[in-house]
Amino acid sequence: MKKVTSIVLILALGGCANVQMNREEMLGTAAGAAIGGIVGYQFGGGLLMNSLFATAGTLVGGTAGYMTTRALMGTDRRAYDDTTQKGLASAGDGQVVEWSNPETGNSGIFRATQSYRNAQGQQCRQYRSTVAFTDGVRSGGGIGCQQADGSWKVITDDFS
């Protein structure tokens, strides 16, 4: 079983050779593939079926591991959150606030799009965010509202 899972894991990860991944993405992909391969192996009956299920589990697990770590991570998340707070608190509607992380190569922008008062009388702002990963761009948005103490609380956010 270990040999089959190891071979399948190596082959599956070999398919990602042309994809630039940071350390966290590689670890997430490898962990997901290993777990998926082991789980998949349990569903087969006989060497051929065990191998097929292990292969499928490795591919599904690797993809799930990659996608899980592909979202904003660690230092990127902190930079994104800090920029969101700064933008909500001080940027005018339409003004762009930027962040970048030389450690991961990722960067992003924040832009408040509309300010308004909600039914409870809180100052709220809708915003749009765009994050540039090393291999693509993802956009989303959210809403933040000012709290009684003057701080801003993100109510909804597509990147959370």
What Cα–Cα distance (Å) separates residue 72 from each residue in 64, 67, 77? 15, 10, 5
Query: Model-level pTM?
Result: 0.58
Distance CA 82, CA 84 (A): 5
Check whether residue 117 and residue 59 sit in a common domain: no
Distance CA 145, CA 160 (A): 16
Q: Which of 45, 70, 95 is the last residue of a domain?
A: 70
Per residue in 86-141, pLDDT (tens digit) is 999 999 999 999 999 998 888 999 999 999 999 999 999 999 999 998 778 888 89
Q: For the CA atoms of the chain, what is the radius of gyration?
A: 21
pLDDT at 47: 74
Give the containing element (helix H, strand E) for 136. Answer: strand 136-146
Check whether residue 80 and residue 152 sit in a common domain: yes
Q: Which of 20, 42, 70 is the last residue of a domain?
A: 70
Check whether residue 147 and residue 93 sit in a common domain: yes
Q: Which domain holds residue 83?
A: 74-157
